[in-house]
Structure 1
Amino acid sequence: MNKTLRLLPFFLLTIAACKAQNHEPSDFIPKGYAAFENYYGDLNNDGQEDCIVLIKKTDTANIVTNRFDQKVDRNRRGIIVLFKTAEGYRVADKNYDCFSSENEDGGVYFPPQLSVEINNEKLYLHYGHGRYGFWKYTFRFQNSNFELIGFDSSSNYGPIINKETSINFLTKKKLIKENTNENAEGGDEVFNETWSDVEIGHLVKLSDIKDFDELEMYDY
């Protein structure tokens, strides 16, 4: 057999392996979805820059006319967590439809804005609601999944913080801070703190959350 022909399978395997080792974040987006936003940071303390890809479905049936006669994209969004390795990216976790559209109808309010932060090897999903406050979910990679280990929220009236809630699912403790200064103008709140125990059988996995809008933290 010709020597070149004998080496051909080896060359083809080498080329395929090289391609497999050079995945870009966009290579992991499933059919019927598009990239929405990318975030980078180290999520597993290995010195590599991992990637969070927010994706959005592209179903034209979900492009509708809202109550202001504007065409809006109501397709849901999802998340793909990619760990960077010496060979390329690999999927660490994923959930394709857990976030509502950024164009949901908030009624008399505007819809909360979802953003992502990576800090101290933790994944933060932050919903900002302007002058009304925010709520934030904290995930960490453990037991081969990203698990919900914390929740924080702030209920505001403009610059005034009315109530803050912080739940640590690892210590199973919850702290509620309520402002008792009825004349507060912002920065001069006086908080009453209440600690309680949290009853939880197991930590919630990112991949198991069907809809963050229905993830009721105040049940804990």
Structure 2
Amino acid sequence: MNQNFNFLILLSFLFYNSPGNAQTESTAGFIPNGYVLLEEHSGDVNKDGLEDCILIIKNTKEENIVENRFGDIVDRNRRGIIVLLNTENGYEPILKNLDCFSSENEDGGVYYPPELSIEIHTNILKIHYAHGRYGNWEYIFRYGKSDYRLIGYESSENRGPIVNYKTSINFLTKKKQVLENENMNSQDEVGIFKETWEKIKIENLIKLSEIQDFDNIDMTKY
């Protein structure tokens, strides 16, 4: 195990510091000690016409490099997000949440763990999880007042190519749409969906900076 452990640390160091993953000089100073850069995304966060930057980072604690139930050595360090606004004086950090995403090497049970990806549109940030044959879900944030606030949620619960349920929540209009496949028990991939609408109760929009763990967000209460 020690040999495998040391090899994984070396491999991780080489990967995170390879040319394709190295942070640019302009963002290097915003990576906290003990973290490495995984992804760097550009987009206009605050609608001022300038290209801002969003960093996905990862902790590097050695104690989180562990042996999983299959005997493989995996990196279970958590991931986080940093938002940098582009100003005339360079980048300015306006949001940090250093550990809100679980590791990409978490135990996925009978399947692999969900794959995290993000998209930046003008003023909008989409945090997307894809879980293969089981479906996907997405958190939609809008920037304002130095933070991103959750304004929407989309999910699809699948059984292979068959969609069982689709859920769409709009936290601004306080409405939820649910599409239930009335043909889900057949092998027909073309669904017959029953549509229902509900009103939800929410007083304050969830802030991205305050989310401790995306895995623990309970959307069933809305």
TM-score band by shorter chain is 0.7 to 0.9
Structure 1 residue ranges, 4+ long, deviating more than 3 angstroms after superposition: none
Distance 1:90 1:62 in 2: 30
Distance (Å, rounded) in 2 between the aligned partners of 1:125 and 1:26: 23
Unpaired stretches in structure 2, ≥5 consecutive residues: 1-23
Cα distance in 2 for partners of 1:184, 1:174 equals 28
C-alpha contact 1:77 1:100 (8 A) present in aligned 2 = yes
Query: Which structure has the bigger radius of gyration?
Result: 1
Q: Within the alignment, does 1:185 sit opposite 2:176 as a pair?
A: no
- Kept in 2: contact 1:23–1:88 (CA 8 A): no
**3-state DSSP of counterpart to 2:104:** coil
Per the TM alignment, residue 76 of structure 1 is displaced from its structure 2 partner at its CA by 0.6
Provide Cα deviations, 1:47-106, integer angstroms capped at 9, x if missing partner.
211111011111001000112211111011100011122321111211011011000011
The letter for the 2-side match of 1:156 is N
Residue equivalent to 2:72: 70
Instruction: Give the match for residue 198 of structure 1.
Output: 200
Aligned partners of 2:139 and 2:94: how far apart in 1? 18
CA distance in 2, matches of 1:114, 1:139: 15
Counterpart among 96, 99, 111 of residue 98 in structure 2 = 96
Q: 2:166 aligns with which of 159, 164, 167?
A: 164
CA-based RMSD = 1.5
Q: Displacement of 1:23 after TM fit?
A: 6.9
Looking at structure 1, the residues matched to 152 and 96 of structure 2 have their Cα atoms a distance apart, in angstroms, of 19
Preserved CA contact (<8 Å) 2:96 2:209: yes
Alignment of 1:124-135 (within 5 A): 124-135=126-137
Match of 2:51 in 1: 49
Deviation of residue 144 (structure 1)?
2.5
2:147 to 127, 145, 148: 145
**Structure 1 unmatched runs, 5+:** 1-21
Q: Distance in 2 between matches of 1:125 and 1:211?
A: 13
C-alpha displacement of 1:133: 0.7
Deviations 1:140-194 (A, max 9, x none): 11133111111110001111111000101111110000111243532x2111111
Q: Which amino acid aligns with 1:109?
A: Y
Following the alignment from structure 2 to structure 1, what is the Cα–Cα distance between the partners of residues 127 and 35?
A: 20
Q: Which residue of 2 aligns with 1:19?
A: none
Q: Distance in 2 between matches of 1:123 and 1:102?
A: 20
- Residue 14 of structure 1 corresponds to none
Cα deviation, 1:16-53, whole Å, max 9, x if unaligned, reads: xxxxxx97122111111111111111122222111110
